[in-house]
Structure 1
């Protein structure tokens, strides 16, 4: 009976790591303490993460009404911008979330231990005790509302620097980078693509800074604040898009400017809310943890470069096929990315809960949380596959009215639903064109999933504790 009252199932006697995928599967939809914690973190995080691709979808829908060349040009620019951004974003956000969750948990455990020590000490006078308790309460209040988290300050500095570097890199390297993407000097996509990419790159500092701050909030297990800020920014983007594109006749430049404004608004809101919770100015530069970020972020950086390069290469192959295939690829890619990011909310929840559990050395909760997140991810993947196939089949005309583009989209849907290897991209795109690109992307994602399952199933890497 005691086991049933436990907030999460205790670990079994057996030590077969692969069983984590099936453990307590009957509890998958149960809103117990663990289920509620996952939902409270995952749902707002998923909505916030999907908001930027949704804003890009809105850009795509409006730009698609201008023409297929403009749609294709924006598609190449967004793919290139995302490739450069994600190289920095994913390691920065992931490392920040884990570090902040760890530091926050250790800080809270330290305060709790200190409080217990005060309660157990009975040698002080009552009046002195009363004064001490009041003082401690005030300190706790300050700590709860204005905490000093070295990782938070470090993340903001790193995010700002990386954002400025990205802006300079994209502005001065726009033309050769687009050439690498298959947009030659004689391509009708070159001028609009370069124009959009240059303007969009001005928002890079805001993007990196806002995502670094989102990582801090996720470390606090607060995913609602980033959601509210993101919704406010994207609502602004939705309002400004038609005004700038059609009313002021700014075309794709208007779409880029609207997006940049929305990103700076998101950053301003998040910075304002974060300053209420955290003391962002470190006592000295020695308190910044640049070395720790670089050490832990390097392997993540390599992983992200490989993953995003594959998608960018796919966009490059589509661009070489011409404006019409590129336009169709842009629509399919944006819809696919938007739906897949909904599942990333579960990853955020798992990351925050696992970091907190490991900081407390609570391996039972770590295993229970990992198991529940895996199972929910499988169910969500099946639901999103069905939604993607049906939704895009009937809703493709929202993004374009071009008959040729619509035809290619309809051909790409079945492959998207199945959703990658760089070698496959070269081999398949050359022989099978548009469909070959999506087949290669499917192979790539399948290989990534297999590698993840293998590490967990064999209990290697961070999953070694499953053997103990």
Structure 2
């Protein structure tokens, strides 16, 4: 009984914490006195039930969106849906190809793996650099146009002073940004332009097109060699359909990289709904064309590749039509393209 009473007293003592409370009475200071307060009262959300409690602490605050949170949500949700659209379309595509036979589905799987690995070399640098530069230049040019709306367009040197305050990621980044905005970009009102010209937009389109053409040429002329590295040797029943699928699929490489570059542009404009719309339309076209070309037209694996290429060019066409309505993609001069900034500013300076 004595041991039980001692344990109960210990548990009771552990549930209370002595904290000082300052008391002031009648305008005079009194010494602080100590008061026992239950330990769970010090927690912001009541007593801790389990160790997992720390992960759901104040979870209700996640649903209280302020202006910034709402803007992030408007950007993140369409972008996430666009990323989920391609895998879903690929599942349907795989289901149709699987009906052709085990050899065909294995051959297509190897070809898709090769195509995706080659594309990844260019995808992430192209999209991330494009998004960053387009957002940066769009903010600078938009602010300059607003400040020059009173017909003081000759004071374009103000843009250089604005770029000095931008965050930099290296010692060479500031010099690169200061020279990235040509004067033609802010002289839109006098020249009668209704659309802005942003150098990084045109640069991204040209770089994406060139990289896509290089990827297509490389995969078309080295299809058998690359497949042999992946284990599809000569004499294998997989080699024929794999070469056909990879060769035709490579024809869509320029559209793939060009569409990814434009998706980076729209993300720089904080617009993720347009890429989502284009992706859904293109994937839907792919799903519709697959059974028609593969089974109705009896094209087999070739039909699957053609359907995918058509869908990629459809996505590119939709994005390009939407893009030319917002910005002017034709540069006012060759010097305004600033390829040196686009290709070199993402590099970190080497330490001596």
1:79 aligns with 2:128: no
**Contact 1:196/1:252, CA 8 A, preserved across alignment:** yes
Match of 2:278 in 1: 229
Task: Please state which structure has a larger fraction of its residues in helix.
Answer: 1
1:264 aligns with 2:264: no
Match of 1:106 in 2: 140
Change in CA separation of 1:297 and 1:201 when aligned onto 2, cut-off 3 Å:
farther
1:31 aligns with 2:65: yes
Q: Matches of residues 68-467 of structure 1 in structure 2 within 5 Å?
A: 68-114=102-148, 139=189, 146-297=195-346
Match of 1:9 in 2: none
State the 1:170 CA deviation.
Answer: 0.4
State the 1:91 CA deviation.
Answer: 0.7
Q: Secondary structure at the match of 1:258?
A: helix
Q: Deviations over 1:12-66 (max 9, x none)?
A: xxxxxxxxx9998763333221221111111111222333333322221111122
Q: Matches of residues 38-53 of structure 1 in structure 2 within 5 Å?
A: 38-53=72-87
Q: Deviations over 1:320-356 (max 9, x none)?
A: xxxxxxxxxxxxxxxxxxxxxxxxxxxxxxxxxxxxx
State the 1:103 CA deviation.
Answer: 0.7
Q: Deviations over 1:348-387 (max 9, x none)?
A: xxxxxxxxxxxxxxxxxxxxxxxxxxxxxxxxxxxxxxxx
Change in CA separation of 1:290 and 1:53 when aligned onto 2, cut-off 3 Å:
farther
Q: Deviations over 1:268-326 (max 9, x none)?
A: 11111111111111111111122122224457xxxxxxxxxxxxxxxxxxxxxxxxxxx
- d(CA) in 2 for partners of 1:25 and 1:148? 44
**Contact 1:29/1:35, CA 8 A, preserved across alignment:** no
- d(CA) in 1 for partners of 2:297 and 2:195? 44
- State the aligned residue count: 259
- d(CA) in 1 for partners of 2:207 and 2:58? 41
- d(CA) in 2 for partners of 1:117 and 1:289? 27
Q: Secondary structure at the match of 2:63?
A: coil
Q: Secondary structure at the match of 2:237?
A: coil
- d(CA) in 2 for partners of 1:250 and 1:164? 26
Q: Secondary structure at the match of 1:28?
A: helix
**Contact 1:64/1:71, CA 8 A, preserved across alignment:** yes
Change in CA separation of 1:150 and 1:25 when aligned onto 2, cut-off 3 Å:
farther
Q: Point out where structure 1 has 5 or more consecutive residues left out of the alignment.
A: 1-20, 119-137, 300-468
- d(CA) in 2 for partners of 1:241 and 1:274? 28
State the 1:260 CA deviation.
Answer: 0.4
Q: Normalising by structure 2, what TM-score?
A: 0.68
Q: Point out where structure 2 has 5 or more consecutive residues left out of the alignment.
A: 1-54, 153-187
- d(CA) in 2 for partners of 1:80 and 1:114? 51
- d(CA) in 1 for partners of 2:120 and 2:113? 10
- Greater Rg over alpha carbons, structure: 2
Q: Deviations over 1:56-106 (max 9, x none)?
A: 222211111222221111111111101111211111111001100111112
Task: Please state which structure has a larger fraction of its residues in strand.
Answer: 2
Match of 1:411 in 2: none
Change in CA separation of 1:213 and 1:189 when aligned onto 2, cut-off 3 Å:
same
Change in CA separation of 1:22 and 1:139 when aligned onto 2, cut-off 3 Å:
farther
Change in CA separation of 1:22 and 1:91 when aligned onto 2, cut-off 3 Å:
farther
**Contact 1:244/1:250, CA 8 A, preserved across alignment:** yes
- d(CA) in 1 for partners of 2:261 and 2:326? 15
Q: CA RMSD in A?
A: 2.7
Q: Normalising by structure 1, what TM-score?
A: 0.52
